[in-house]
A and B are shown apart, each in its own frame.
Chain A
Amino acid sequence: MPPNHRQLLEMYRKMVTIRNFTWRACQESAAGNIPVAVPANVGEEGSAVGVCAALRRDDRITSTHRSLGHAIAKGVDIKLIMAELFGRSNGCCGGKGGTMHIADFSVGMLGANGIVGGGLPIAAGAALAAQMDGGDGVAAAFFGDGASNEGTFHSTLNLAAIWKLPIVFVCENNGWAINVPASYALSVEDVSVRAVAYGIPGLTVDGTDVLAVYEVMEQAVARARSGDGPTLIECKNYRWNTSSPVGEAEARGGLRDPVLAFRERLLAEGISDAAAVGNIEKGVEVAVGEAVAFAAAGPVPGIADALADVFAA
C-alpha cells in the first residue's frame, strides 16, 4: 500500500532531520563538544527512513556503528541522541555508550553496535522473541556490505531461515567497509544474491529512493508478519565524505542526494508545496537547535555513574 500524504511528509521530515542533525553533530564534534568524529549517515537517509517507515513502534531494529539515521528514523528523540553524543547523563544511554551505542528500547531501537556484524544475531533474537510472543511483531537488522562477509551474516541468515523468524535483513551497501572497498572485498556484485544460499528471498533496491525502499520493505515486513520468514534487502547507497558540504552529490559521479530527490518529487507530484516543505525544514532546524541546547545543558556524569549498571538488580 503506498504511503498516505501524512506518511510521505513524515518521511521527508525524518530525512531532513537526519541530514540536519548529522551536519550539526559534525560541527559540534569539530568544536570539541562531542569528543570523537561522528559516524555519519549522510547520503543514506533513503534506506534508513524507507525501512523504518514500514515498521511499527513495537517492531525492533538493531543497527551498525553508523546509526544516527536508523535511530532517528526509528523514532529515538533527537535531544536524547545529541546528549548521548555529548557524553552527558541525560543522553539516551546516560553517556555510557556514545556514538556507536545509541539505543532506545522504548521505540524498538535495540542499539547501534560497535562490532561489524554484531547486531545480526541479536536482531534474530528479537525476532525469535516476537515469534514466541505469538503476535505479528517483526525485527529488522541493519548492516553494511562489510558485515555481509562476516560469519554472523551467514550463520544468522541460516538460523532465521530454518526457524522462519519474522525478520528482515537490510544490507546498506555503500561500497565501503570502513576503508575497504566492496569492489575488492565482496565476492559477488550484489549482496542480495547471497540470499539464495539460505533459501530466502533476496532483492536489491536503489537506496537513494526512499519510496522504492519503503515498497520493498513493506512487502518483506508483510511476509514476516504472516509467518513466511526472513527476507534479505540490499539497498545500494552512497556514503558521503562528511567533510563535503550538502549539494556536492552531483560532483560525485552524478550520485543522487536522496533528500533533495524526495523533495523534488513531493513538489513535482503535487504532494506538497514549497511553503509546507519549507516549514518542515524550518521546524527541523529549530528541533536540532533545541537538541544541542538540551545536550549542552546536560550534567556531566561522574565516578558513581561510571561504576553503575554493571549488573542489574
Chain B
Amino acid sequence: MREISFVAALIEAFQEEMRRNDRVFHLCGGLGPLAGLIPEFGERRVRVCPISEDAYIGAGIGAAGCGYRPIISPGLMSFAFTAMDQIVNQMAKTHYMLGGQATFPLVLRASTGGGRAAAAQHCQSSHPFFLNLAGLKVVMPSTPFDAKGLMKTAIRDNNPVVFFEHQAYSLHNLTGPVPEDEYTLPFGSAEVKRVGDDVTVIAISRMVQESLTAAATLAAEGISVEVVDPRTLVPLDQQTLRASVQKTGRVVIVDEACITGSAAAEIAAVVTEDPATFRSLKAAPRRVCAPDVPIPYSPAMERFCIPGAASIVQGIKAVLQQT
C-alpha cells in the first residue's frame, strides 16, 4: 500500500469531500497546504481570513446554520481561544438551545501539542477542555490512515466536530499507509494498535507512537504491551477500552495534556467506574501526562515535561510492580 503523509491524507480528504458536496468550504487563518486546493476549488471555497478568530469562527457557525459545511482552520488550537465565546457558548450549544431546529455541520480543525521549543502558548494540549463541552465531538487521529477516514466522517457529520492534529505530524512529515480507494472511519471506534497481554496502554495522538516505541522496548524484556488508540474522545469507545483492560488487568493512560483534568483522567474514570472492568484490575490505573505546568521553551525542560517512550516505560513498570 502506498505511504503518504498526515497532511497529504487530510488534503485528499478535503478534495474528496469538496468534490462530493459543493457546500464544503474552508475558512482559514493562513493557507499553508490548503493552497493546493485553490486551483480546483477557487478562492471562494478556500478563504483566507484576517487574523480575527472570533469573527471567522463565528462566521463559520453562521454559515453552517445556513446550509454550508465549513472547515475552519485557525492554525494552532491556541489561536482559537480568542474565539472562546463562539466555541463554548455558540458552537457547542446552539443546536440544543434552539430545540434542534437548526444544525451546524462544521469542522474546527487545528494543531495541538508540543516538542518544538515554541513555549507554553504554542505547545499546549487543550483537548481536555473540549471533552467537557457538551455539544462538540472531539477527534484526535494518530496516523494518516485514521486522519483521512476520520476527517471525511467529520465533514459529513451534521454537528460541530473539533479535529486535532498533532503539530509534530506535519513538522516531522509522519507518513503511513493509506489506501487509494475512498473510505471513511466511524466515530466512537477505538483501534488496538498493538496486541499484548500484560498491560493495556491507552494512548492519545502522538502518544500512540511513543507508546509503540515503549512497547517494543519492553517486548525485549518479555513484557507484552497492548496499545489502544481511542481515535475519537467524544464519542469515546468505552467498550473497546474496557474489554482490553479486562483482558490484561492493568491500564496506563498516556496523554500529552497536563495531568489534572486530562483526557487520561476521564478515561481512567470510564475504565474503573465499570464494575466488571474494576473487578478485573490487578493494579491501580496510572496516568502518564505532562505535569501541571505551562510547557517551557528550552528543549531540555520541554523534553522533561512531555511524556515520551522513556516515561511511558517507567509508568508501565510502576504498574507492573504494584502486584
Contacts and interface: CB of A to CB of B under 8 A. Distances in A.
Interface of A: 60, 62, 91-97, 101, 103-106, 110-111, 113-115, 117-118, 120-130, 132-133, 139, 151-152, 155-156, 158-159, 162, 308-313
A298 to B, nearest CB: 13
Given A151-B54, A156-B58, A93 B98 contact: yes
A311 B97 contact: no
Contacts of B64: 125
B85 A115 contact: yes
B90 A310 contact: no
Nearest to B86: A121
Interface in B67-84: 67-68, 82
15 contacts: A94-B100, A97-B98, A97-B99, A117-B85, A118-B86, A121-B54, A121-B55, A122-B58, A125-B60, A128-B59, A129-B67, A152-B86, A159-B50, A159-B52, A311-B137
Interface string B227-247: 000000000000000000000
Contact of A129 (B62, B95, B97): B62
Interface of B: 25, 44, 49-50, 52, 54-68, 82, 85-86, 89-90, 94-103, 134-135, 137, 158-159
Contacts of A95: 99
9 smallest A-B Cβ distances: which pairs? A125-B62, A121-B58, A94-B99, A129-B66, A155-B52, A309-B100, A155-B55, A93-B99, A125-B59
Nearest to A121: B58
A206 B103 CA distance: 37
A126 B137 CA distance: 23
B54 A312 contact: no
A155 B63 contact: no
Nearest to A123: B62
B99 A124 contact: no
B135 A159 contact: no
Contacts of B82: 151
Contacts of A126: 62-63, 65-66
A111 B103 contact: no
B63 A159 contact: no
A159 B98 contact: no
A169 to B, nearest CB: 12
A105 B25 CA distance: 22
B66 A130 contact: yes
A155 B65 contact: no
A57 to B, nearest CB: 14
Given A110-B65, A312-B159, A125 B99 contact: no
Nearest to B45: A132
A114 B90 CA distance: 9
B50 A312 contact: no
Given A129-B66, A132-B25, A92 B159 contact: no
A245 B203 CA distance: 64
B305 to A, nearest CB: 32
Contact of B55 (A93, A96, A113, A158): A158
Contacts of A117: 85
A208 to B, nearest CB: 30
A105 B94 CA distance: 12
A152 B67 CA distance: 23
Contact of B54 (A114, A128, A155): A155
Contacts of B98: 93, 96-97, 101, 103, 105, 111
Kindly name the residue among B61, B64, B137 whose own CB sees the greatest number of chain A CB atoms within 10 A: B61
B55 A159 contact: yes
A158 B50 contact: yes
B135 A311 contact: yes
Contact of A162 (B50, B94, B159): B50
B90 to A, nearest CB: 6
B96 A110 contact: no
Given A159-B50, A309-B100, A118 B90 contact: yes
A118 B85 contact: yes
A132 B95 contact: no
Given A121-B86, A122-B90, 12 more contacts: A101-B98, A103-B98, A113-B90, A114-B89, A121-B54, A125-B63, A125-B66, A152-B54, A156-B54, A158-B52, A310-B95, A311-B95
